A and B are shown apart, each in its own frame.
Chain A
Amino acid sequence: MTLAEENGPERGGDDLFAAEYVLGVLAADERQIASRRIEADAAFARLVDRWEVHLSPMAAAFPETEPPIRVKEAIDRRLFAQESRPGLWSSLAFWRGLAAAAVAALAIAIALPYVNPPVVEPQARLVASLAADGSDVKYLVVYDAARRDVGLSLVSGERAAGKDFELWMIEGKNAPVSMGVIPAGQITHMAVTPAVEQKLAQGAVLAVSVEPVGGSPTGQPTGPVVAAGDLKGI
């Protein structure tokens, strides 16, 4: 039997290449090719993940060794030196926020015994970055499904005197559904009604419109939409 036959026509050489990458035997240039394919090719990334799962029990043989404190200090300098700059919005800050939420989830998961890997529920929390061209209003939204809570962080922009910001959910081609007037403040929370909760899922679009104080009198947006974005899994 040849290698090609053993490998099976349906999988080609990709599965073996993934295995060699995970095992760690490839040369530098081959590893670069594999890394690029993991980024660009989801099917290949899944093959790699599968081999990582298969071989990962062998990692139990890596002994634990406490690193010196200077390593943590150096990491802190690299990661947190600039965190206190106020009101600075950038996509980097947004992604870091996302990563932070995921790391928090990881940290909790790791606190559980290794032998019982926890089930990750990606839908438990969704995030959206709301912004629009020609507007300086930007909100970062975190939806916590378990607590039926929408947390909003006003990143930039202000409501004009005599106006309110109203939050809308747009699901598919349906008419916007009001989630209520956003309370004033940098960081605010809004409760989610059961009707909205049923439709609030990954892919739903959130939008902020300018409305008279107290919210839209018609039940539909009456003022300009100053920020919008879709909900994504963390």
Chain B
Amino acid sequence: MKDRAAFDLLYRQTSAKLFGVCLRVLKDRGDAEEALQEVFVKIWTKADRFAVSDLSPISWLVAIARNHAIDRIRARREPAAYIDAALDVADPAPGPEAMAVAGGESVRIYHCLDELEKDRAAAVRGAYLNGESYAELAERHGVPLNTMRTWLRRSLLKLRECLER
């Protein structure tokens, strides 16, 4: 019974954030609701792994939700609706929430994204927040898949160089 109280507390504190992650990636309420269920069942059964991660608890939970939602969207045969994706492109700058959280290490990723060309930084953020695949990004940016792959890989290498500087 104690377990259940702990779970209820965990759910109260984190479900809105994790649902936001699922919604953003899956862009479908019913799908996101199902994904959220699966995510919490997963968290419950994988919680013992938390000890080996360097992530903060909330970031660890977000990572599980995000990866689960991305796996789910990849399992769909048809790519996600591009209209929604296109609407989401125009948010490369960190919002007020991001700035509020940002302190010390947290701003580092924004600083490093700023060192990339604008469209590359937007592609990195778009991929992270929308869970878009190389194929989807290539189609949206109108470039061949391999070009998109090379673009993003170079951006990731530059990011790594900056993050570890």
Measured CB to CB, the residues of A under 8 A from B are 3, 6-7, 15-16, 19-20, 22-28, 31, 35, 45, 49-50, 52-68, 70-72, 74-75, 78-80, 83, 95-100, 102-107, 109-111, 114-115, 117-118, 120, 122, 233-234
Contact = CB atoms under 8 A, between A and B. Distances in A.
Contacts of A16: 153, 156-157
Given A24-B66, A27-B133, A115-B101, A68 B33 contact: yes
A104 B71 CA distance: 27
A98 B152 CA distance: 40
Interface residues of B, number: 85
B10 A26 contact: no
A23 B122 CA distance: 13
A67 B51 contact: no
B128 interface: yes
A103 B43 contact: yes
B14 interface: yes
B143 interface: no
A54 B159 CA distance: 9
A117 to B, nearest CB: 4
B12 to A, nearest CB: 9
B89 interface: no
Given A63-B20, A118-B57, 20 more contacts: A20-B152, A24-B127, A25-B127, A26-B133, A27-B134, A35-B71, A49-B55, A52-B59, A54-B109, A60-B95, A60-B106, A64-B17, A75-B40, A78-B37, A79-B7, A100-B7, A105-B50, A106-B50, A110-B61, A233-B51
Contact of B48 (A6, A66, A234): A234
Nearest to A29: B74
B26 interface: no
B68 to A, nearest CB: 11
B-side interface mostly: helix
15 contacts: A16-B156, A24-B67, A24-B132, A27-B74, A28-B71, A45-B52, A52-B53, A56-B55, A71-B37, A79-B7, A95-B45, A102-B50, A103-B3, A103-B43, A115-B103
A95 B135 contact: no
A214 B120 CA distance: 73
Given A16-B157, A23-B156, A27-B74, A110 B57 contact: yes
